[in-house]
Amino acid sequence: MPTPHRLLEIVAIAAFALLDVGLMARVAVAATTTASWCLVAVAVLTAYLVADFASGFVHWMFDRYFSVRTAIVGENFVKPFREHHVDPKGICRHDFVETNGNNCIGTVPILAAVHLLPLPPDDWLWLCVAAGTAAMMIFVFCTNQFHAWAHATRLPWYIARLQGAWLILNKRHHDIHHTAPFDRYYCITTGWLNPLLHRVRFFPLTERLIFQLTGVRAGRDDAAYAGLDPALYAAALRRAEVEEAEEALGREIPVGDGKAPQ
């Protein structure tokens, strides 16, 4: 029998689909001029960048703060992030609901709120808000799927092409994050912002500011925070190493050109 959280994920996915399609339909009706459609295009591109940043910020937050014992977010949000470094291929064994449900839980309230806003024809402000929100929520929805594909051994050729063109998260680019101590390149929608955020030391400086303001120090212990005993932790690491070796020997398709800026 499905757990209450899985039922919530299923309901959230259905609600997300209805709300986002409805918002896109409102945008299509409200944009009646060429200038309005150009604004929509700019809003969509901006939303892709914002979604990439949001994915990195959430990833960083659950990697570096809280624990599985934290109320509400611990078991269902923090734990999957902590387990992921122990078993990177685990995300590839998730079904559609498990992969995308949590993101939908986060996006549905935002979409519902934007539906309450006015959207007069060709009103540039509200058109930008509506189009940007609809696009960003789609990209947020896609983030975990892009992330899973970055860990997959075999992919459809068109997904590999998107990775190779760095239009979605590139496997070799994301591998930088999975190099101990796992403290950089957090963005997992496209990864476009990772080089910039790393260069300006955005996350280390943010951690320093949080420590100065609150006294809370960032830290991680993947095995302990994931609630794994040492034997299970070691077994997961060995399984990940075997899968990586099999991938290196038997990969049938390219999974990105590895040319993302470092």
User: Residue 252's pLDDT is what?
Assistant: 45
Q: Identify the sign of the CA torsion 170, 176, 181, 183.
A: negative
C-alpha to C-alpha distance for 234 and 242, rounded to whole angstroms: 12
* Mean pLDDT on 159-171: 94
Asked if 46 and 132 count as a contact pair (C-beta separation under 8 A), the reply is yes
Q: What is the mean pLDDT of the chain?
A: 85
User: Residue 261's pLDDT is what?
Assistant: 43
Q: Which two tokens stand for residue 63?
A: 């990697």
Question: Which residues, at least 6 apart from 80, have a Cβ–Cβ distance to it below 8 Å?
Answer: 102
In angstroms, how far apart are the furthest CA atoms of the chain? 63
Q: Would you call 8 helix, strand, or coil by DSSP?
A: helix
pLDDT confidence of 17, banded at 50, 70, 90? very high
* Mean pLDDT on 7-21: 95
Asked if 190 and 64 count as a contact pair (C-beta separation under 8 A), the reply is no
Omega cis (within 30) before 181: yes
* Mean pLDDT on 1-24: 93
